[in-house]
Structure 1
């Protein structure tokens, strides 16, 4: 059932993005009286799952979910319809329209992608508001869960002050900023220290496969026990471990270092149970484990009840949501630009993390969440817009590049040149597609 839910969100998001992107080409084409022969969700190689002709346009759904397209008369595109291009230009064809109109038609798809992302962020801000912890209220620092971040020099208990010179205002932004950052300013034992990340920091993070780089420091609370646990009858559910072997335990991140000192031993422990301290005798196995299930997934409400953190909930009116949503969209756009720059730099190793359809599928949750769905869809919309703007023939950006050349020089590239460029671009895209999805396959088999 979980895979059905993930697949449903994946296909719904993909379909929405494709249809709206192609609608961005379709609408200006119609406004400029340019004939659109096909409007397709997914590719109809050999056959279609559905098609219906209305006016001059065939609307359909293909069987191959690798994208979608609109076929515009008189345009050299992925259809490579060279026979049409050999005929005399007709007034309803793309090639007969002024360059500025053709430019607007080609930019329509990415424009819709960016508008959609910003609208989603505005809508989410208005509907969900914001739940956050002020960074200044995280008094005892963060829990470093990424070995790569720890190796770089950031320690559990450090307070994250700034990343790349920009002050951190809320806990919510720390992981994203660290992931894209080059250096971090931390406060440790009352002193500030700058930690610079290695060039291949992203590569190291991907090798470690941790969920996030830092987490909130939380108590060690018992959530259950395996059937073979030596301590199953000693602990009770919701016990909060406050000391082991005489050493105080305030946070879960302190437990392992204590257990490692007492492998294979029986030690004293204290827990907080129903508001009272209870002394226990527990067994530490040879691997330095209590063999108990730790309650790692505490909710914000749980953490607030424990008095550890103060959460702020902000609700915004529609007008207030607009600048906030626009700023969120801008930040995501800038971050994605940074990601592409890292991917283009081999020394960072970021290219190893490039993924295809499986990678996109995996980011959707296994439970239905509209908040997660819209958040992921907004990010994918920005990615689709940026990728389509790349100056690669066969992408919108390639057509825009040649149209700008035509507008500036007054010379239009020949149809033969455009056909050859389209073919080159097609092979580049196939190569990128094989690389991205090949990465998915490699990681699934060997990692």
Structure 2
């Protein structure tokens, strides 16, 4: 069932982005009276799952879910239709249109992707508002379980104060800063400690088999239920009870429970619990593995009430959501350019973390959440737009590059040159796709 939910979100998001991107090319092409021969979701190598001709355009769905395309007459594209290009130019062909019209057609796809991402963020702002966790609310810092972070000198209980000398206030700022972080400043035992990250930090992180989260929030052990087949099934425990101490030893956080119980295997311990803001005491049996057979629960509202976390919330009016959406949009675009900068700098090793379709599939949760779905779709829309703007022949950015040269110089590159450039660009794209998806396979095999 989890697979069905994840793959449904993945395919729905991908299909929406592809159709709207291609629609961005299709609409200006039709406005400028340019013939569009095909409009496809996914690639129709050898055959189509569905196709229907309406007017002069064949609309269809291919079987290979690696993208989509519109085939515009008189345009040198991935179809490499040399037979058509050998014929005299026709007034309804792409190559016969003025350079400025061709430029608008080529920029239509990425423009739609950027606009889509912005309006998704507007909708998110209005519907869900903003929520974040304050660093001040993490009174005892973060839980550090990632081996690489521990090797670099981070410790559980560290409170993050700044990155690269810039003070931080929220958890989301900490996560976003990881792409460009060179030095963290943390508070440890009431003293400031600087921790330098190696230049290839991102590469080391991607190469590790153990990819636990870097900064984990610390929560208390709150009871959900006791396993009715294990040793403490008959003990008076209620959902929402919060563990405070074991045999008088304070246990404020969930991550402290296992190490504490390790010393009481096959013994009975006296535990202090908080129930409805009153302290109670219960005796629990610890088994040979140091476990008490009690399932933990998570309640952000309760954790906030107890002072374990600090949450900031902001709601937007309808008109205010446009400004809120713009802020989120700019943050995501800037953040993605930072990622690309790191990926194209070999010294960072960030290219090792480059992923393909499995990596995109993995970012979707295994439960259905419209908020998560739309946030991820907005991010992927930005990613699709930025990647398509790269000046690589066969991508929109490659076509734009040649069109800008034509507009500035007044000289149109020859069709033979454009064909060769298209072939080179195609092989570059294939290499990138193979590398990214190869990374996915390597990571899967190394786990």
Q: Distance in 2 between matches of 1:167 and 1:136?
A: 12
Residues 208-227 of structure 1: matches in 2 within 5 Å?
209-210=210-211, 212-224=213-225
* TM-score of the aligned structures, taking structure 2 as reference length: 0.90
Q: Structure 1 residues 434, 257: closer, same or farther in 2, change over 3 A?
A: same
Q: Structure 1 residues 223, 379: closer, same or farther in 2, change over 3 A?
A: same
Farther off after superposition, 78-87 or 241-250: 241-250
Q: CA deviation at 1:35?
A: 1.4
Q: Structure 1 residues 434, 157: closer, same or farther in 2, change over 3 A?
A: same
Q: CA deviation at 1:93?
A: 1.2
Farther off after superposition, 396-405 or 341-350: 341-350
Q: Distance in 1 between matches of 2:427 and 2:81?
A: 17
Counterpart in the other structure of 1:244:
246
Counterpart in the other structure of 1:16:
16
RMSD: 2.5
Counterpart in the other structure of 1:277:
280
Q: Distance in 1 between matches of 2:280 and 2:227?
A: 24
Q: After superposition, give the CA deviation of every residue in 1:43-91 in whole Å (9 maximum; x if it has no partner).
A: 1112222222222221111121111101111110000001111111111
* TM-score of the aligned structures, taking structure 1 as reference length: 0.90
Q: Is the 8 A contact 1:244 1:267 kept in 2?
A: no
Q: Distance in 1 between matches of 2:162 and 2:119?
A: 29
SS of residue in 1 equivalent to 2:222: strand
Q: CA deviation at 1:138?
A: 3.1
Q: After superposition, give the CA deviation of every residue in 1:79-137 in whole Å (9 maximum; x if it has no partner).
A: 00011111111111111122222111111111111111111111100111122333333
SS of residue in 1 equivalent to 2:257: helix
Counterpart in the other structure of 1:136:
136
Q: Is the 8 A contact 1:143 1:156 kept in 2?
A: yes
Q: CA deviation at 1:441?
A: 2.2
Q: CA deviation at 1:257?
A: 4.4
Counterpart in the other structure of 1:254:
256
Q: Structure 1 residues 119, 86: closer, same or farther in 2, change over 3 A?
A: same
Residues 50-65 of structure 1: matches in 2 within 5 Å?
50-65=50-65
Q: Is the 8 A contact 1:241 1:269 kept in 2?
A: no
Counterpart in the other structure of 1:101:
101
Farther off after superposition, 267-276 or 362-371: 267-276
SS of residue in 1 equivalent to 2:408: helix
Q: Distance in 1 between matches of 2:337 and 2:179?
A: 13
Q: CA deviation at 1:383?
A: 0.8
Counterpart in the other structure of 1:86:
86
Counterpart in the other structure of 2:298:
298
Q: CA deviation at 1:175?
A: 2.4
Farther off after superposition, 73-82 or 122-131: 122-131
Residues 118-267 of structure 1: matches in 2 within 5 Å?
118-206=118-206, 207=208, 209-210=210-211, 212-224=213-225, 236=237, 238=239, 239-244=241-246, 246-259=248-261, 262=263, 266=267
Counterpart in the other structure of 1:330:
330
Q: Structure 1 residues 184, 208: closer, same or farther in 2, change over 3 A?
A: farther
Q: CA deviation at 1:293?
A: 5.0
Q: CA deviation at 1:210?
A: 4.2
Q: Distance in 2 between matches of 1:345 and 1:82?
A: 38
Q: Distance in 1 between matches of 2:56 and 2:13?
A: 28
Q: Distance in 2 between matches of 1:293 and 1:75?
A: 65
SS of residue in 2 equivalent to 1:41: strand
Structure 2, unaligned runs of 5 or more = none
Equivalences, count: 443
Q: Distance in 1 between matches of 2:284 and 2:43?
A: 65
Q: Distance in 2 between matches of 1:210 and 1:119?
A: 33
Counterpart in the other structure of 2:415:
415
Q: After superposition, give the CA deviation of every residue in 1:312-332 in whole Å (9 maximum; x if it has no partner).
A: 332101221122211111111
Q: CA deviation at 1:36?
A: 1.1
Counterpart in the other structure of 1:368:
368
Q: CA deviation at 1:404?
A: 1.8
Do structure 1's residue 71 and structure 2's residue 68 form an aligned pair?
no
Q: Structure 1 residues 4, 294: closer, same or farther in 2, change over 3 A?
A: same
